[in-house]
Structure 1
Amino acid sequence: MYRCVLPLILAVSSVAAQAQTHRFFPANALRGELVITQFPEARINGRAARLAPGARIKNDNNLWVPPAGLTGQKLTVHYTVESTGLVMDVWVLNAVELANKPWPTTPAEAASWQFDAGTQTWAKR
């Protein structure tokens, strides 16, 4: 019986380890440096921004964190912006995700580059 359980445990731990090192981001996610100044106010790449009322921030382990707890920290993130211009989803990047370059920092770059959702890579056209 224990021989059957061990491979299952190893498989589950392998999937969990992969999830902690590489997440899947939507094609509209941009990369930037986020600083929460005074919640919900923030700066992204030095420009004023505002977090949406339902904004979600996930840390580098993909766990939700309260935005006010990140005040003043400079974080390299991927983020999405809703139709009203408010920042909606934010993912603090881990080392593996930071190494995934290039990644667009502006909507214009994203519009002119090609995204492969399966490999989570961008290619300049």
Structure 2
Amino acid sequence: MPLTSFAFPFRKNVDHRRFRSLARAFDGIQPQIEKESEQLRRARKRMTDCAAFSLEAIENGEKSECMAATLESLEQALAANRERQLVLEQQMSFLTRTRADLPSVLRFDTE
């Protein structure tokens, strides 16, 4: 029996559709990351303002354990905020790099 060409269901545009879908998913994820990052920035601003007022109160003679506990809590919250911000920066970097690499992988324009 002679070999004949096999009809494969593969089409080049299948890959293009698949990876365009991935690019659209990235487009949906990016605003989520940006929104969370902005919320973290606003929260950090509020925490640093609160810490500044607390330090001012201590400098003006208010020496309560409550104030010290507040400052310690703010310090921990600021550290957690910064750690989360770093994670979001890594995620955004990943999205940016991967999105930029899509055309080279499949040689198509993602727009």
Structure 2 length-normalised TM:
0.30
The structure with the greater share of residues assigned to helix is 2
Please identify the structure whose Cα radius of gyration is greater. 2
Structure 1 length-normalised TM:
0.28
Structure number with higher relative contact order (C-alpha < 8 Å, ≥ 6 residues apart):
2
The structure with the greater share of residues assigned to strand is 1
